[in-house]
Chain A
């Protein structure tokens, strides 16, 4: 057997409070397509970042081409690992020819006029190798998603000195429709047949089954399986990803939902096509689904961060208009967006200023000025309550760790004692310790009578925290799981649309809409 093209051994990476990778080893041989699967937080993205040189591993080795035992020169090594990230890295204003051109080392030819016709011919030939034909002079923004992926692959491969290099594709199909996926797969197979080793990272298990020769499953930073694709089926894959030990954390609450606080009928906007939901006081409702299912936009839409296309939202019986965060706040809604750095916090301002921003009125003295003393006292109390580290009210928020930022993004709404708390990816990029205290804060908010909606791509989080979970698919509610039937494997299965009987639920929702 030939030695692998890429060999990763004992890779370990620790972030503060989080072991992202723990002794990960894997090999890719020439002509092989290796799929790496795992949930969010399983260590997939850390692995890719280490391979790309964006992060430094604490321990372990990455060997490129051990076949002839020759140490590659630095120039060759950089040309041997190629990455295509989810966003492809194309410049959308420029055409295919121009995008391909960017990776060329032109030397002094860079100042000579470009040989346009020659370049266009070469580009057309190049994409033809991947079974594609389209106008290479068009801006890439006007191509289909699959065509753009092919341009990105062509660009990554064009500079190769030899065909047997390693190509890493990170979630390449997230933006593709089904028929486009097959075009991309044809292209990927072409590359593998020419002798390249492919690492293919994806959430979509059916694609993995279709494309990969071998599957490596990651969970909590460990390799939990490394098997030929032919030996596993969907169920086995789901079990590998989710794991068997689905322990519930100590977040048990007495379940006594109160009056409905949030009623949603026929909501539409962004990727959400039609969603009905009811949320009661004291209840924690989860929202699950893949990227593009509507899960990532539902909370923003409810709060008014995104404009609403259709539908009615009632908060404690009173109608709430769409696209107006001020109105939502006036109705006692709170919203922790997925991206705390761009939407959740003002990073240049300090902890105190961020905490009080949503509601300054109670701190206003009759003379119109802010009561600085009262504000400081209140901030200290909240810092204690959320266990913020370091406990400094005047620290600029940009200097806090991700977990502490997230606690603050949550606390600024808890301070308002909201009726409805909307959380979008509440623990993304957060270490284990902060995760636990965020869960406790959320659970105690529900205990005190808030209705909580948690939108999350982390199945474990939803099973831990929620009383009930709605699974979205293609913008519709595809399934509803209550506590009895709620487990990680079931959630993943529903998100992927693997259980046939649940599909009917979606069509029922569709027909309801046409009735109403």
Chain B
């Protein structure tokens, strides 16, 4: 068992991290090895990690959530609008924003289980609706004049780490516990694994799907709140950029630790491995388009490698059939 746990296949991201670390330590030692770089990396990626952790929940339940980027954007604009335009105090504003995220998730969930729209399409449609709502709410303008005390949410520190890092860690801990240590989590994974078999085993699969999207929506909206606090402005364009990094991390994470299952810690590690690679390249003077390229290639490689084994299996089956047909043809000889 121990051998399997340390195998490359199981924790490849950690080995890749070590390799990246070694390469950039030798290449750009002055900048790459400075504590400030690492502290800022931890802080800036905390938001991506938080969004990716949120995404793990519906993915584990077998639903795509393509609206997750615009859910972040909606949270970012809504909290700014509540604070600046409606003058609502900080705590209720954050609460209302997360509630709105939960309602958005519930709407997507109901479209999937009640209207029986495929999750891919339901959330794609939802993401476009949210883009329109964001533009309407913000007039496509940045919302300024947020109070300095609201900005503290993203900038204040505890034990040397910023609040967003702590928030991300706590969210990851809670989601991990629920998914992997409780009966609820077992039912979430079962629903994602085989929805009909789970229904016949007495799992309330519709409820599982809806609640997974509700939880995801609420956390994504919370991430939006932090984004606004960090920028000190409600920016209507902030959301969609989180979509691809979150999916890249969740897919890459699913190849780690749990052998093909979407999981929280694999996802968090994947976020930071990808970020380390990007950061190293940037420090070494790579151009600005490197992050997109790196994320995209890493996603394709990770998922491609995970599928490789199954495809290889199928290919050998097809070869057997072809051999048989050839034998049939040669039969009368």
| B332 A72 Cβ-Cβ under 8 A | yes
B interface residue numbers (CB < 8 A to A): 177, 181-183, 186-187, 189-190, 193-194, 196-204, 260-261, 320-321, 323-333
A71-B330, A72-B329 in contact; A325/B200 too (CB < 8 A)?
yes
Of the listed stretches A35-43, A133-141, A225-233, A345-353, name the one at the interface; the rest are far from the partner chain.
Answer: A345-353
Known: A64-B332, A71-B333, A363-B183. A335 touches B200 (CB 8 A): yes
Q: Can you report 17 A-B residue pairs in the complex whose CB atoms are below 8 A from each other?
A: A54-B324, A62-B331, A65-B332, A69-B332, A70-B332, A71-B332, A77-B329, A77-B331, A325-B199, A326-B204, A329-B202, A343-B194, A346-B193, A349-B189, A357-B187, A358-B201, A370-B182
Say how far A329's CB is from chain B's closest CB, in angstroms: 4
B86 to chain A, nearest CB (A): 37
A369 within 8 A of B: yes
Task: Please state if A325 and B202 are interface contacts (CB–CB under 8 Å).
Answer: yes
Q: What is the 8 Å Cβ interface bit string for chain A, positions 351-370, against chain B (1 contact, 0 not)?
A: 00100111111011000111
**Cβ of A64 and Cβ of B200 under 8 Å apart?**
no
A284 to B331, CA, bound (A): 49
Q: In whole angstroms, what is the CA distance A39 to B162 when docked? A: 71
> Which residues of chain B are near A370, meaning CB under 8 Å?
181-183, 186
Give the CA-CA distance A359 to B201 in the complex, in Å: 8
Candidates A61, A73, A345, A361; contact of B331 at CB < 8 Å: A61
Other A-B pairs, 9, CB within 8 Å; known A53-B321, A54-B321, A360-B187: A53-B328, A63-B331, A325-B200, A349-B190, A360-B186, A361-B183, A369-B182, A370-B181, A412-B201
Query: Given the complex, which residues of B lie within 8 Å of A412, measured CB to CB?
Result: 201
Question: What residues on A are CB-neighbors of B321 within 8 Å?
Answer: 53-54
The chain A residues found within 8 Å of chain B, CB to CB, are 53-56, 61-66, 69-74, 77-78, 81, 303, 305, 325-326, 329, 335, 337, 342-349, 353, 356-361, 363-364, 368-370, 412
B191 nearest in chain A by CB position: A346
Residues on B with beta carbons closer than 8 Å to the beta carbon of A335: 200
A77's partner among B187, B204, B328 (CB-CB below 8 A) is B328
Tell me if B177 and A369 are in contact (CB < 8 A). yes
* Contact present for A357 and B331 (CB under 8 Å): no
Q: How many Å lie between the Cα of A361 and that of B327 in the bound state?
A: 56
Q: Given A53-B321, A74-B326, A349 and B193 touching (CB < 8 A)?
A: yes
Inside 8 A of A337's CB, which chain B residues have their CB?
200
A53 touches B324 (CB 8 A): yes
Judging by beta carbons under 8 Å apart, are B202 and A358 in contact?
yes
**A343 touching B197 in the complex, CB below 8 Å, given contacts A56-B324, A349-B189:** yes
Least Cβ–Cβ distance between A335 and chain B, in angstroms: 6
Residues of chain A within 8 A (CB-CB) of B181 are 369-370
Closest Cβ neighbor of A69 among chain B residues: B332
Count chain A CB atoms within 10 A of each CB in B177, B196, B197, B331 and give the residue with the most: B197
CB-CB nearest 10 A-B residue pairs: A77-B329, A346-B193, A360-B183, A329-B202, A74-B329, A346-B194, A53-B324, A348-B193, A369-B181, A358-B201
Minimal Cβ-Cβ distance residue in B for A300: B200
Q: Are A73 and B329 in contact (CB under 8 A)?
A: yes
- Residues in B whose Cβ lies below 8 Å from that of A359: 202
CB distance from A195 to the nearest CB of B (A): 19
Which residue from chain A places its CB closest to the CB of B1 in the assembled complex? Answer: A394
Contacts of A346 in B (CB 8 A): 190, 193-194, 197-198
When distances are taken between beta carbons in the complex, the residues of chain A under 8 Å from B324 are 53-56
Residues of B within 8 A of A329 (CB): 201-202
Chain A residues with Cβ below 8 Å from B326 are 74
Complex: A45 Cα to B202 Cα, angstroms: 34
Given contacts A78-B325, A346-B190, contact A63 B204 (CB under 8 A): no
Tell me the complex Cα distance, A65–B332, Å: 8
In the complex the two chains form, what is the Cα distance from A369 to B200 in whole Å?
23
- In whole Å, how far is A84's beta carbon from the nearest beta carbon of chain B? 18
In angstroms, Cα B177 to Cα A305, docked, is 32
Knowing A74-B329, A360-B183, the reply to whether A56 touches B320 (Cβ < 8 A) is yes
List chain B residues, Cβ under 8 A from A77. 325, 328-329, 331
Of the candidates B182, B199, B328, the one whose C-beta lies within 8 Å of that of A368 is B182
Bound-state CA distance A303–B200 (Å) is 9
Residues in chain B near residue A361, CB distance under 8 A: 183
Q: Report yes or no: B328 in contact with A357, Cβ–Cβ below 8 A.
A: no
Instruction: Give complex CA distance A363, B187 in Å.
Output: 14
B330 proximity list for chain A (CB < 8 A) = 71
Q: Is B260's CB under 8 angstroms from A348's CB?
A: yes
Residues on A with beta carbons closer than 8 Å to the beta carbon of B327: 56
Interface residue from A303, A343, A349, A360 paired with B196 (Cβ < 8 Å): A343
User: Chain A contacts of B329 at CB under 8 A?
Assistant: 72-74, 77-78
A73 to B261, CA, bound (A): 49
Residues in A with CB closer than 8 Å to B196 are 342-343
Within the complex, which residue of B183, B194, B325 is in contact with A342, where a contact is CB–CB below 8 Å? B194
What is the chain A residue whose CB lies nearest that of B198? A346
Across the two chains, which residue of chain B brings its CB closest to A70?
B332
A414 to B200, CA, bound (A): 15
Q: Chain A residues near B186 (CB, 8 Å)?
A: 353, 356-357, 360, 370
A61–B194 Cα distance when bound, in Å, is 41
- Expressed in whole angstroms, the minimum distance between the Cβ of A417 and any Cβ of chain B is 15
Given A347-B193, A353-B186, A305 contacting B331 (CB threshold 8 A): no
Q: Are A353 and B190 in contact (CB under 8 A)?
A: yes
What residue in chain B is nearest A396 (Cβ atoms)? B259
A357-B198 CB under 8 A given contacts A72-B329, A74-B326, A363-B183: yes
- Complex Cα gap A62–B324 (Å): 11
Nearest Cβ on chain A to B177's Cβ, whole angstroms: 7
In the complex, what residues of A have CB within 8 A of residue B194's CB?
Answer: 342-343, 345-348
Question: What is the CA–CA distance of A346 and B279 in the complex, to the nearest angstrom?
Answer: 40
A345–B196 alpha-carbon span in the complex (Å): 9
- Alpha-carbon gap, A347 to B310, bound state (A): 14
Partner of A343, one of B200, B204, B320, B332: B200
Least Cβ distance of A427 to chain B in Å? 19
B201 to chain A: which residues have CB within 8 Å? 325, 329, 357-358, 412
Complex interface: chain B residues within 8 A of A353 (CB): 186, 189-190
How far does the Cβ of B309 sit from chain A's closest Cβ, in whole Å?
12
What residues on A are CB-neighbors of B261 within 8 Å? 348
